[in-house]
Amino acid sequence: MMQPKKEGWSKYYTLVLIMNAVYIILFFLLMNYYTA
């Protein structure tokens, strides 16, 4: 696999991590809302 430039890859990786965290938090809140 060809590795892209470090700067761009780290930026993309950080964005993915932030999106994953947001989705996990939203999912957690929705589960609490529906089970309450």
> Is position 20 within any domain?
yes
Shortest CA distance to 8 belongs to which of 19, 21, 16, 22? 16
> Is position 4 within any domain?
no
> Is position 13 within any domain?
yes
Tokens in use for 27? 């999912």
Residues 21 and 27 sit within 8 Å (Cβ to Cβ)? no
What's the pLDDT score for residue 19? 97
Domain assignment of residue 15, given as a range: 9-35
Alpha-carbon distance of 2 to 6, in angstroms, equals: 12
> Is position 1 within any domain?
no
Over residues 1-36, the pLDDT tens digits come to: 566 566 777 888 999 999 999 999 999 999 999 887
Q: Write down the pTM of the prediction.
A: 0.56
